[in-house]
Amino acid sequence: MRSLVELIAKKREGQEHKEGEIRRLIDALMAGELADYQMSAWLMAAFLRGLSDAETNELTDAMLRSGEVLDLSSVPGIKVDKHSTGGVGDKVSLCLAPMVAACGVPVPMISGRGLGHTGGTLDKLEAIPGFRVDLSTEDFIKTVREVGVSMIGQTAQIAPADKKIYALRDVTATVECIPLIVASILSKKLAEGIDALVLDVKVGRGAFMKDVDRARELAEALVRVGTRAGKRVVALLTDMSVPLGCTIGNALETREAIEVLHGRGPDDLVACTLALGAEMLVLGGKARDVGQGEELLRKAITDGRAAGVMRSLIKAHQGDPRVVDEPDRLPRAPIHLDVHADRAGWVTGIDPRELGLSAVALGAGRTRADQSVDHDVGLELLVRCGDKVKKGTPLVRIHARSRAAAKDMEPRVRASFTLADTSFPAPPLVLGRVDASSLTS
């Protein structure tokens, strides 16, 4: 049997691990036999040398088995979750989960917090007064069974190896490695006890994957590994060259997601939610195709069932369900400052990364995992790509804790908008689709 140091050297030399070797590394890490600096060395070797599908499969399973795998057998039906790789203004989960549950597909969702320029579902949920994302696994399963959906954070018992390894990846510049991303995402999702998964792989300046080819590579790897784990998996590639929807910031985004449940909301947010939700209904056996899936989701909105599930979800998580019908109960920042166009023209670009970082600077996000967030602050887009504006037209409204903070952010926010003398069409929202039948290898 090779020593742990020999296993690190093996990957450093670009050799493929034999079956059981990666599992041994993970088990040793969790037992304290393998030091953090040694795992960091192996992660860098994997980043530089890559991992085969077999290695990625074993890493995913070893991280999955490092903790509790939930048993959702008491929940009838095909359990389906959705995961986004992260974007700016991406509040889809908040409206999608109750809509899908209202159509009869149980949605057990373990979500994350924002880090860097992207937001997190848990931070948005906690903008709802009283909402708890730290339910026990027993209460999580009970809520999925009784309400049809529950949304919590990763517990200490669910894929603890992933939590430990991600912290090391974050400080060793090894985050942007597709096999490590795949293992991180799927180890958590498979630990939920789901039957199927829909993935939203974001593409563009506001996403971690900047180009379509790289995003498709990630999507195919996720589908391939998830399928080999016995799950039905579909991935959509969706545009993140501009922010999704009209708001960036926790309470602002929660309010916008609630608008979707009432049949309102920005067209791009609605379209993205329907596209992902329809795939979930097909995988969950409630729709024969995505066309019927979208019809069922729209009906759940118009007859009030989606909003009803949201009320029940919030109540089950000890939050104030009145926010569904009275969104003004959500917190608001005390200072509002409109940023105006400094010239006339067509809006041809809205930089999602810069606006995401601007929201973080206001306090809406975090630069370290241990930081808290200000749920009240953020940005509200008043124009969209393709709009024609005059000089002095309000482009965006800054929601800030103080006037000084808003004024400090004004130049950066204005510079995030590109105005031109001519317009050009916006890219399509859905850029591609990957399932098991479309894999290239």
Is 40 annotated in the active site? no
Distance between CA atoms of 143 and 399, rounded to whole angstroms? 34
Assess whether 213 and 259 both reside in one domain. Answer: yes
In a domain, 56, yes or no: no
Q: Report which of 277, 274, 257 is spatially closest to residue 125, judged by C-alpha positions.
A: 257
Tokens at 140, concatenated: 């999580």
Per residue of the chain (441 residues), give pLDDT as tens.
789 999 999 999 999 999 999 999 999 999 999 999 999 999 999 999 999 999 999 999 999 999 999 999 999 999 999 999 989 999 999 999 999 999 999 999 998 877 677 778 999 999 999 999 999 999 999 999 999 999 998 888 889 999 899 889 978 888 889 999 999 999 999 998 999 999 999 999 998 889 999 999 999 999 999 999 999 999 999 999 999 999 999 999 999 999 999 999 999 999 999 999 999 999 999 999 999 999 999 999 999 999 999 999 999 999 999 999 999 999 999 999 999 999 999 999 999 999 999 999 999 987 766 778 999 999 999 999 999 999 999 999 999 999 999 999 999 999 999 999 998 888 899 999 999 998 865
Same domain, 196 and 310: yes
pLDDT at residue number 63 = 95
In a domain, 425, yes or no: no
Q: Are residues 239 and 376 in the same domain?
A: no
Are residue 30 and residue 143 in the same domain, yes or no?
Answer: no
Domain count, the chain: 3
The CATH number given to whatever domain includes residue 18 is 1.20.970.10
What is the domain-level CATH number for residue 382?
3.90.1170.30
Residue 162 annotated to the active site: yes
CA–CA separation, 213 and 192 (whole Å) = 29
**Domain membership flag for residue 200:** yes
CATH code of the domain covering residue 109: 3.40.1030.10
Q: Is residue 66 part of a domain?
A: no
Is 299 a domain residue?
yes
Within a domain: 109: yes
Active-site pick, 66, 84, 184, 312: 184
Is 188 tagged catalytic?
A: yes
Q: Which of 188, 202, 286, 353 is catalytic?
A: 188
Going 319 to 321 to 325 to 326, the CA torsion angle's sign is negative
Same domain membership, residue 13 and residue 116: no
Q: Establish if 357 belongs to a structural domain.
A: yes
Which of 61, 81, 162, 376 is labelled catalytic? 162
Q: Which residues form the domain of 378?
A: 332-420
Indicate which residue of 83, 231, 286, 317 is catalytic.
83
Task: Say if residues 440 and 219 touch (Cβ distance below 8 Å).
Answer: no
Helices marked H in 113-159: 121-125, 137-147
3-state SS class at 23: helix
Residues 373, 255 share a domain: no
Q: Using CA atoms, how far apart are residues 120 and 55, in angstroms rounded to an integer?
A: 29
Q: Identify the active-site residue in 17, 124, 169, 255.
A: 169
Q: Is 83 a catalytic residue?
A: yes
Report how far residue 367's alpha carbon sits from residue 378's, in angstroms, rounded to the nearest whole number.
16
Are 243 and 216 members of one domain? Answer: yes
Distance CA 31, CA 33 (A): 5
Q: Is residue 175 part of a domain?
A: no
Are residue 235 and residue 288 in the same domain, yes or no? yes
